[in-house]
Amino acid sequence: MHQRLHKYFQHFSNTLINQGLDPNYADILSIIINLFFLGAGLILLDRLLRKLIVEFFKAFTNKTKSTFDDYLILTNFPRYIAHIIPINILKYVLVIMLDASYPLILQWANKAINVYVIILVLKILRSILRTSRSFFETKEKFHDKPLQSYIQVTMLFLWSLAAFFIVLEIFDKEAGKLALQLGTTSAVLLLIFKDTIMGFVASIQVSINDIVRIGDWITFSKFGADGNVTEINLATVRVQNFDNTYTTIPTYSLIADSFQNWRGMQESDGRRIKRSIYIKQRSVRFLTAEDIEELKKIQLIAPYIEHREKDLERTNRLHNIDRSLLINGRNQTNLGIFRRYIDAFLHENPAINKDLFLMVRHLEPTPQGIPLEVFCFSKDKRWEIYEHVQADIFDHIIAAVPYFKLELFEELSGSDFPGKNPSAKA
């Protein structure tokens, strides 16, 4: 085959010489004409092979259950594969056509072809990576994984490797010498590609340490982000806020700054409710016998009051306590009973998860009064339902306060002063 092609090119050149053309010009014209027809033939061959390979893939995918091969077609994998045969034919024919007369041109032509082959291999690998990403995105266990970030990290490494081999090919450098020369310019490269390198390192840390996943609800006050992560790339993380706007956060910020990830709450058995009401300190008092009898009408805490009253009576009699003053001995207070009432109310509430921590407590008194804090977890973690549950609890608590002869703190407004109520009749 090699000899036949060589004889053909030589015969074509001799034909031009026989027509009276200068031998030097005849060789050049012969090469140009043959390259033109060779290029046209290779383009037709490339399109034919592309069509055949695509049709083969389509026929193959129709017989398989996996969708991986379907995504290969979408990422142009067959098209890149079709280039392999024409490019090898071109390289083979150029050697025959140029080796004897134009070795320098052949050398640079081979360099160009080799560079193209490196880029072609890179495109094939990129197609496989994109196909893998699309395929794994259809699997439920990979929905929350930053596949795009993995792909970009891998592609950055492959592009760097390809650039290294392209430089080796063009300048005929040895790998060791080139690596040494690149080392001397590393400081400049680090400065130029600072953001890319930081994003690359951050992306690896985010992936390995599982800091953020796609679908996580995060709150990042610095960037005004409060919503679900929709995309994690090498340089940025995209968040869809709850008002349907989008916020783009630099990936590096996820490891450099502090933000809130609500994944733990979403994966837990409940969502925390932690809120306080403020009780006026002057409304707290000991309960008289009449008060006790009145509070026993509240069914939810009647058993507790009776049990507690018997226990206190027994203790006071044992120590001969003077009961003429309520401050003597042990006595119940309206705030203490109210705290027990809230605790019993939460235990009876079907929307509260009783298996998680539940507590009603006093906090340190403030100028606004005594904070009475509710700490528990709702069973339903959906935001809307959670807010309804929390609101229902505090609606009830606030409405129950007067039954215990307590008062809530609230700053005075104009209508709270005598004669200032606009709704009052003149």
pLDDT average, residue stretch 297-307: 92
Position 129 confidence tier, pLDDT thresholds 50, 70, 90:
confident
Residue 234 CB-half CA count within 13 A: 13
Q: CATH 2.30.30.60 occupies which residues in the chain? A: 144-155+165-267
The token pair that represents 423 in the structure block: 């709704």
What sign does the dihedral 52-55-60-61 (CA atoms) show? positive
CATH class of 144-155+165-267: mainly beta
The span from the CA of 236 to the CA of 232, in Å, is: 6
Residue indicated by tokens 């994966």: 267
pLDDT of residue 361: 94
Q: Is pLDDT at 69 greater than 80 in this prediction?
A: no
pLDDT tens-digit profile of 341-371?
999 999 999 999 999 999 999 999 999 999 9
**Residue 10: pLDDT over 60:** no
- Of the listed ranges 210-214, 218-222, 362-366, the least confidently predicted one is 210-214
Q: Is the pLDDT of residue 199 over 90?
A: no
Look at 63 and 401; give whichever has higher pLDDT.
Answer: 401
Q: Which of 323-327, 336-340, 343-347 has the lowest mean pLDDT?
A: 323-327
**Residues near 73 by beta carbon (within 8 Å), at least 6 away in sequence:** 54, 57, 58, 61
Give, as one character, the DSSP assignment of residue 362: E
Percent of the chain scoring above 70 in pLDDT: 78
Q: Which of 272, 267, 224, 274 is nearest to 249 (CA)?
A: 224
pLDDT band at 279 (very low <50, low <70, confident <90, very high): very high
Q: What is the average per-residue pLDDT within 75-94?
A: 79
Calculate the average pLDDT of the chain: 80
Q: What is the pLDDT at residue 55?
A: 77
In tens, the pLDDT along 403-418 reads: 999 999 988 766 666 6
- The structure tokens listed for 119 are 């880029």
- pLDDT more than 90, % of the chain: 30
The angle formed by the CA atoms of residues 88, 91 and 97, to the nearest 5 degrees, is 140
SS (H, E, C) 319-337: CCCCCCCCCCCCCCEHHHH
Report which of residues 143 and 292 the model is more confident about: 292
Instruction: Give the Cα separation of 285 and 53 in Å (integer).
Output: 89
